[in-house]
């Protein structure tokens, strides 16, 4: 029997990148997937379809409370009770601090941190009292710092704080963890348009390469499954050695 056959898992940010890879990996292992994004995740849905019937796609903005609540109302009607979430939706922001506006700072917090709070709260409301699993997405920058990325770094440290607190608040039935990817080859990283200097800096890690979305997704699928039953409250690095806490 497939490892995740009895699970219905919401994946946010499922239009592309790590979220799309997670949706596919979960479906391959037998989960029913609810793939959501601010952009309709139609291509992801097409990749899920061969694995099982009953996958669902939704459109919603994770940073907007009304949109998140509406999305969960649809989830309540469209699928069996959810058993977990892999929350991947997020944005990056790179700028020297002294050029960063308050609007830019707020936008990063709104999507990365408030979005995690809103999605996590609705999932945990539904899981409370049952077995379940919440997997957030922080970053290797959620456990370190980096010049010219401070709003993003702050948002990901915030995600780690939510994760650690929820892991205690909802124990022992619900496990809460966070992925902490290093540089992963997605549109967000923009490897193809990076300057040679930037590329060299990103690749100055023990693995000396970018990670693949599928490598993060394999970890996500493991963490959502029964074999990870003793893992909670952890930020899990999939980072080629970029950070060694």
Q: Give the contacts of 65 (CB within 8 A, at least 6 positions apart).
A: 118
Q: Which residues pair with 204 in a beta bridge?
A: none
Residue 16: CB minimum distance to ligand NAD, A: 4
Question: Is residue 240 within the footprint of ligand NAD (CB under 6 A)?
Answer: no
Can you say whether the dihedral through the CA atoms of 120, 150, 15, 33 is positive or negative? negative
Q: Which is nearer to ligand NAD, 116 or 131 (CB)?
A: 116
Biggest CA–CA distance in the chain, Å, is 55
User: Which class for 32: exposed (0-12), middle (13-18), buried (19 or more C-beta within 10 A)?
Assistant: buried
Q: Tell me which of 45, 149, 152, 210 is the catalytic residue.
A: 152
Q: Which is nearer to ligand NAD, 30 or 154 (CB)?
A: 154
By DSSP bridging, strand 132-137 and strand 84-87 are parallel
Question: Is residue 17 within the footprint of ligand NAD (CB under 6 A)?
Answer: yes
Residue 189: CB minimum distance to ligand NAD, A: 4
Residue with smallest beta-carbon separation from ligand NAD: 17
Exactly one of 111, 118, 127, 223 binds ligand NAD (CB under 6 A); which one? 111
Stretch that binds ligand NAD, among 100-108, 123-131, 166-174, 185-193 (CB under 6 A): 185-193
Question: Is residue 151 within the footprint of ligand NAD (CB under 6 A)?
Answer: no
Question: Is residue 181 within the footprint of ligand NAD (CB under 6 A)?
Answer: yes
* CB hemisphere CA count around 195 (13 angstroms): 3
Q: In this structure, are residues 23 and 220 in contact, taking their beta carbons and an 8 Å threshold?
A: no
**E-only strand ranges, 20-83:** 32-37, 56-59
Question: Is residue 122 within the footprint of ligand NAD (CB under 6 A)?
Answer: no
Q: Which is nearer to ligand NAD, 70 or 91 (CB)?
A: 91
Question: Is residue 90 within the footprint of ligand NAD (CB under 6 A)?
Answer: yes
Site string for ligand NAD, 60-89 (x = CB under 6 A): -xxx------------------------xx
Task: Respond yes or no: is residue 152 known to be catalytic.
Answer: yes
Output the DSSP codes for 184-213. B-STTTTGGG--HHHHHHHT-STT-SPBPH
For the chain, the first-to-last Cα distance in angstroms comes to: 36
Question: Is residue 37 within the footprint of ligand NAD (CB under 6 A)?
Answer: yes
Residue positions annotated with a catalytic role: 152
Q: Which residues bind ligand NAD (CB under 6 A)?
A: 12-13, 15-19, 37-39, 61-63, 88-92, 111, 115, 137, 139, 181, 183-184, 186-189
């Amino acid at each position: 029997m497939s490892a995740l056959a009895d699970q219905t898992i919401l994946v946010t940010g499922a239009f592309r990148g790590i979220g799309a890879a997670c949706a596919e990996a979960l479906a391959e292992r037998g989960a029913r997937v609810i793939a959501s994004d601010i952009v309709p995740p139609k291509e992801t849905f097409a990749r899920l379809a061969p694995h099982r019937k009953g996958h669902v796609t939704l459109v919603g903005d994770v940073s907007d409370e009304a949109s998140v609540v509406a999305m969960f109302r649809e989830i309540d009607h469209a699928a069996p009770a959810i058993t977990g979430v892999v929350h991947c939706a997020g944005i990056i922001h790179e700028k020297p601090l002294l050029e960063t506006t308050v609007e830019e700072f707020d936008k990063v917090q709104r999507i990365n941190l408030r979005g995690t709070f809103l999605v996590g709260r609705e999932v945990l409301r539904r899981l409370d009292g049952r077995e379940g699993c919440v997997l957030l997405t922080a970053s290797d920058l959620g456990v370190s710092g980096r010049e010219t990325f401070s709003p993003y770094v702050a948002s990901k440290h915030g995600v780690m704080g939510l994760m650690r607190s929820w892991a205690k608040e909802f124990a022992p039935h619900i496990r809460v963890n966070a992925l902490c990817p290093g540089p992963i080859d997605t549109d967000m990283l923009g490897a193809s348009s990076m300057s040679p200097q930037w590329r060299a800096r990103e690749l100055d890690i023990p693995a000396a390469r970018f990670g693949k979305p599928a490598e993060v997704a394999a970890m996500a699928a493991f963490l959502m499954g029964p074999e990870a039953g003793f893992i909670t409250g952890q930020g899990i690095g999939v980072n080629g050695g970029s950070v060694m806490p």
